[in-house]
Amino acid sequence: MTTPCDIKKRREILFHPYPEGQAEQAEVLLSGLPGLEARRSAPQTLEVAYRIGDHTLEGIETALEAQGFHLFNTLLIRLRRALIYYTEGVQLENMNEPDASARNYQAFVSAWDRQPHGDHDDTPAEWRQYR
């Protein structure tokens, strides 16, 4: 079960130092989006807060790069991003999973009923005993 604290995300987006002023421009651009809060926490850092059902970090950063912003891309930052993208993607898939009561298990039950059960070893009895 997903709790409200799992749904609300607070992430940092780091911009490359050049060209200057990217964080300010991104703050203005992102603050106009519904369900997304953006504020600068450092000269090249933008802190964003969003609900996982409305936005993802991957979507936000992809949109920023499409607008011409340059993100900071060290190896550690890229690994951190990849981990966040993966975990948010898995969380979105899990949130869209139907209830257990809504699932239809009848096909599996009828297939199980048609299969033979128990010990059906066709090996002759004299081969099963080691002497």
Q: Where are the domains of the chain?
A: 4-98
Fold of domain 4-98: Alpha-Beta Plaits (3.30.70)
Residues of the chain with pLDDT > 90: what percent?
A: 58
For position 94, what pLDDT does the model report? 86
Instruction: Grade residue 117 by pLDDT with cuts at 50, 70 and 90.
Output: low
Long-range CB pairs of 27-34 (<8 Å, 24+ gap) are 29/64, 29/67, 30/60, 30/64
The token duo for 99 is 């209830």
> Residue 7's closest CA among 79, 55, 40?
55
Predicted TM-score of the model (pTM): 0.70
Sign of the Cα torsion 93, 91, 75, 23 reads positive
For position 100, what pLDDT does the model report? 53
For position 71, what pLDDT does the model report? 96
Sign of the Cα torsion 49, 84, 12, 29 reads negative
pLDDT in tens, 73-115: 999 999 999 999 999 999 988 888 655 555 566 666 677 677 7
Strand, coil or helix: what is 117? coil
Mean pLDDT over 3-17 rounds to 87
